[in-house]
Structure 1
Amino acid sequence: MQGAFMQDAHQGCISMPYYKGGDLDAWIRDNPFADLATRRR
């Protein structure tokens, strides 16, 4: 999961280091516009 998150972050659409713990669900809930993150899930 972390690998996918890091990939999305590399795209430039994600810049939240405090979410690299693996709380992708919470991040997606806060950022519904993150299509990349939702697809990686």
Structure 2
Amino acid sequence: MATVREYGKPDYFITVICNPKWPKITGTLLDGQKPNDRQDLESR
């Protein structure tokens, strides 16, 4: 909502989906962590 307030209504809404089993994601997890524990990795 803050983005809309700052820049106005978007022309397009894009959703990007990632697979939490990708090696780039699983390789950066610490022991015992799940991808859902690290939203910063999933949202890159």
Instruction: Give the alignment's TM-score, normalised by structure 2.
Output: 0.25
Q: Which one scores higher on RCO, CA 8 angstroms, separation ≥ 6?
A: 1
Name the structure where helix makes up a greater proportion of residues: 1
Instruction: Give the alignment's TM-score, normalised by structure 1.
Output: 0.26
